[in-house]
Amino acid sequence: MLTRRRFLESAAVAPLALNALQGAEPKRIAIVCTIYRYLSHAQHMGDRFLIGYPLNGEWHKPNMKVVSLYVDQKPDGDLSEARAKEFGFTVYPTIAETLRCGGKKLAVDAVLTIGEHGNYPRNEKGQILYPRYEFFEQARKVFEEDGRVVPYYNDKNLSYSFEKAKKMVSAAHSMKFPMLAGSSLPVTWRLPDIELPLNCEIEEAVMVGEGGSDAMDYHALEAMQCMLERRKGGETGVKAVQMITGDAVWKAGEDGRYSKALLTSALSRSDTPLGLTVQDGRTQDLVGNGELPKLVKEPAAYFIEYRDGLKATLLMLNGAIKDYNFAARVKGLGIQATSTQFFLSPVPNVTYSAPLMSKAEQMFATGVAPYPVERTLIVSGILESCLTSKVQDQKRLETPYLGVTYRAPTQSQYARS
Amino acid sequence: MPERLKIAAVTTIYFKISHAEEIVDRFLDGYGWNGTHHHPPMDLVSLYVNQIQKDDWSRERLKRHPEVRDSPTIADALTLGGSKLAVDGVVLVGEHGHYPKNEKGQTKYPRYEFFKQIVDVFQSSGKSVPVFNDKHLSWNWEWAKEMYDTSRKMGFPFMAGSSLPVTWRIPSVDLPRGAKVSEALVVCYGGVDSYDFHGLETLQCMVERRHGGETGVKWIQAYRGQKFWDALSAGVWPKKLMDAALCRSHTLTPAREGFNDIFPTVDDMQRLTKDPVAYRYEHNDGTMCTMLLMNGLVADFNFACQIAGRSEPFSVQMYLPMPDGRTTLANFFSPLVNNMEKMFLTGKEIIPLERTLLTTGLTAAGVESLYRNQTRYETPHLNIKYQPSTESTFWRT
């Protein structure tokens, strides 16, 4: 029954949104990025608009033309000029010129901004100060001055600063241009292919991930958020957060601040347990066999208390696993239906960025963001607040400013066809 | 409470990430399943390892699990040192290990020989129990057929095969039951008499669901090296399906420097692929299948087929979380072990044995065609008819 439905979806429904627009005049796209180097986000995402990408079992070529590019830094290995030459567009020295294609007025139909990678300083909270807000501001000014707006895509979190992120979203809403942002994790394949039912009653959630802050923790938090926003009542905002590190993380587990059953469940979805598995191939119940504290030298827990009472925890477990897995306790559902891996396919292809670019393409083509930018806004704020808690003696931090409310999209948006 | 089932494991070799290690460890240490760490509700009570080498981990497992009997012979593993069959199920893993190759390049894994010894105990005990055989039945068709016939004659449940049919699929879809399939194809990687079998099982687990079910295979022809490229340009198999399958890959080797995910031209494919191999074969009902080993181009298993009434191909990747750097755990063994558990508990075959009988014969026939200078090889012996299981059996929970 499930398979038949899925088959029909893959057969007919999914490609329509994009393919229906193939006959129209190609949309003109400006790319605004920090760096354009092999395997930078700008390269693997931007290239998808130049050479196409795998989508729904085909090599999909967007009916779009990249007409201009801005790169903030040109490190060794910069590909911007080579791409411009090969694909017939121009690299401009400023964002305004990029959006106006060297002319006097906004001359593109959409902006793809990728402010990830490159050499930028970190602040005292360890956040890399990527100039996403600053890029946005320059684009916004062009929209304002030229009296026209176009869809705007922003890769990953909106800004390291929630205040700045909030300004971006407010501007998009008041100036009425569609805006989409965020991570590829919410839209990548899931193993298993599950979605929490809309309006379900979520009692608790645990997400596990690995990697550095504030890069990979953002992805993990957004993956968790795309599941939690589907709960009854929709997103209500965040009341308080706390980030703790070190042995306190294990103690918090003993004290029941997060469910060890959910942690076991999330880890049961991992394909990358380290330690004894790497040594001799054996399977492991990392919670049950007591290996977790031995493997993770610097654990970090991100506790999120939502305004409606839901509690969620992200555990960053460097040294124990290499993938991103989620588990929740949901009223009326078994744990097999509420736990999954967000599948990050291998380097170099990183095919998981293809579904993300298909969402950007969809917004560029239709003028409608397939999911609310508020998701990215709230997670930008959750991450910044957690990192603030971390540097403020890891104390619980009330977050009255995180009153971001929104509803999940009715249609599931992750890759499944 | 009923007593827990006792399972014997009969293996060739036990090194890290060997099939025996992956399968037996899941019985001993459990595995992630349905959102928890699942321990099979049965006990693996004995372990026979044919070759114990420097990289062996079976000694460590026996030490850590002292309840498991270190069996010096297959008969001992089944009788637990007594005179009669004393287990409720047998897992036979005859993959890996140092065994000679024949003149056709087939490794003479002793699955048939092990199976015979298992059956000897069944016969002398007047009782038989379910058996699982990892991968194909035997490199030798006659022996494989004998294994099949023996299990049917003696009436014990017998399952075999690859993890490809039962692993995750991306997307999570099955071929619609009863679909009219004219052409099916898999693009995968690996060697002859090895991963070709996995590619054939990938194809067969899908096409057996077609209208009318399986009808058997008439002939097969292999193409290797330049003949592969000649056949591609002559349209021996549909390029459209090949492209559709490649669009499901997550491991397409970038054809151009500086690009990470770019669709290859035929020239690119020719440059990137090392020693390509194709098996092209026709089923008795006219359905055509093609198995392509394209080492250097992809490192995953991608299926595509043409279904009547659909303009675009149906395609899917059979996803192996492969511990070659991509993962640390070969979790595609989890659904395989879970099916074994189900068979041991219920006495019912979850997967039709005829599937693996056919793919065993196809693997040997592909090798035979290669050996006969890539000529067409008639396969009247593969007149194997069967119906697929009613339920989909791939991993999706």
Name beta bridge partners: B51.
B13
Decide if B202 is inside a domain. yes
The closest CB to that of A192, out of B17, B172, B327, belongs to B172
Contact call for residues B32 and A341 (beta carbons, < 8 A): no
Chain A residue with CA closest to B60: the answer is A280
Same domain flag for B49 and B30: yes
Q: Which of B301, B319, B337 is the last residue of a domain?
A: B319
Interface residue A52 vs chain B (CB under 8 A): yes
B385 domain residue, yes or no: no
Provide the CATH number for the domain around residue B114: 3.40.50.720
Same domain, B177 and B285: yes
Residue finishing a domain among B161, B185, B205:
B161
Distance CA A128, CA B105 (A): 56
Q: Which CATH number fits domain A2-186+352-369: 3.10.20.880, 3.30.565.10, 3.30.530.20, 3.40.50.720?
A: 3.40.50.720
- B210 belongs to a structural domain: yes
B9, part of any domain: yes
Chain B residue numbers with beta carbons less than 8 Å from the beta carbon of A327 are 35
Q: Is the ipTM of this complex over 0.95?
A: yes
CB contact under 8 A, B173 and A3: yes
Instruction: Tell me what the pLDDT averaged over chain B comes to.
Output: 97
How many beta-carbon pairs below 8 A join chains A and B? 174
- B30-57 pLDDT, tens digit each: 999 999 999 999 999 999 999 999 999 9
Chain A residue numbers touching B326 (CB-CB < 8 A): 346
Same domain, B93 and B184: no
Closest-approach residue (CA) in chain A for B178: A4
In chain B, how many domains are there? 2
Domain extent at residue B156: 5-161
Tell me the CA end-to-end span of chain B in Å, nearest whole number.
Answer: 28
> CA-to-CA distance for A213 and A223, rounded, in angstroms?
15
Query: A334 in helix, strand or coil?
Result: coil
Whether residues B313 and B254 fall in one domain: yes
Sign of CA dihedral A125, A128, A131, A133: negative
Block means of pLDDT (10 residues each) for chain A, length 417 residues?
42 46 84 98 98 98 98 98 98 98 98 97 97 98 98 98 98 98 98 98 98 96 98 98 98 98 98 98 97 98 98 98 98 96 98 98 98 98 98 98 97 97
**Are A59 and B263 within 8 A, CB to CB?**
yes
pLDDT for the residue numbered A242: 98
User: Crossing angle of helices A41-51/A80-87, nearest 10°?
Assistant: 0
Q: A334 contacts in B (CB within 8 Å)?
A: 34-35
Report the pLDDT averaged over residues B90-119. 98
Question: In the prediction, which pLDDT does B133 show?
Answer: 98
Q: Nearest-CA distance from B58 to chain A in Å?
A: 10
Question: Can you give the pLDDT at residue B15?
Answer: 98
CB spacing of B171 vs A288 below 8 angstroms: no
- Say what the pLDDT of residue A6 is: 46
Using the 3D structure, point to which of B319, B336, B351 is the last residue of a domain.
B319
Please indicate, yes or no, if residue B364 is contained in any of the structural domains: no
- One domain for residues B199 and B271: yes
| Model pLDDT for residues B313-358, shown as the tens digit of each residue | 999 999 999 999 999 999 999 999 999 999 999 999 999 999 999 9
Q: Which of B173, B239, B306, B397 to mutate to test the interface with A (most CBs of A within 10 A)?
A: B173
* Cβ <8 Å between A269 and B22: no
Q: What is the mean pLDDT of residues B109-122?
A: 98
Residue B120 sits in the same domain as residue B199: no
pLDDT at B297: 98
Q: Are residues B279 and B243 in the same domain?
A: yes
Exposure class string for A55-76: b at 16+ Cβ within 10 A, else e: bbbbbbebbbbbbbbbbbeeee
Q: Judge if B306 and B197 occupy the same domain.
A: yes
**Does residue A189 sit at the B interface (CB-CB below 8 Å)?**
yes
Is A401 part of the contact surface with chain B (CB cutoff 8 Å)?
no
pLDDT above 70 coverage of chain B, percent: 99
Contact call for A264 and B31, based on CB within 8 A: no
B72 within a domain of the structure (yes/no): yes
What confidence score (pLDDT) does residue A24 get? 81
Chain CA centroid to CA A53, Å:
19
Question: Residue B251: its chain A contacts at CB < 8 A?
Answer: 346, 349
Is the residue at B342 inside a domain? no
Residues of A in contact with B259 (CB under 8 A): 47, 51
Q: Which of A44, A57, A279 sits opposite B244 (nearest CB)?
A: A57
Most B-contacting residue of A1, A3, A41 (CB-CB within 10 A), to test interface: A3
Percent of chain B scoring above 90 in pLDDT: 99
For residue range B173-227, what is the model confidence (pLDDT) as tens digits? 999 999 999 999 999 999 999 999 999 999 999 999 999 999 999 999 999 999 9
Q: What class, spelled out in words, does domain A189-344+377-398 have in CATH?
A: alpha beta
Q: Is any Cβ of chain B less than 8 angstroms from the Cβ of A53?
A: yes
Put simply, the answer to whether B173 touches A415 (Cβ < 8 Å) is no
H or E element that contains B111: helix B111-125
**Which residues of chain B does A416 touch, with a Cβ-Cβ cutoff of 8 Å?**
171-172
Between vectors from CA A165 to CA A161 and to CA A169, what angle results, nearest 5°?
A: 170
For residue A187, what is the DSSP state? G
Contact A281 B57 (CB under 8 A): yes
Same domain, yes or no: B91 and B199: no
Enumerate the domain spans of chain A. 2-186+352-369, 189-344+377-398
CB contact under 8 A, A192 and B32: no
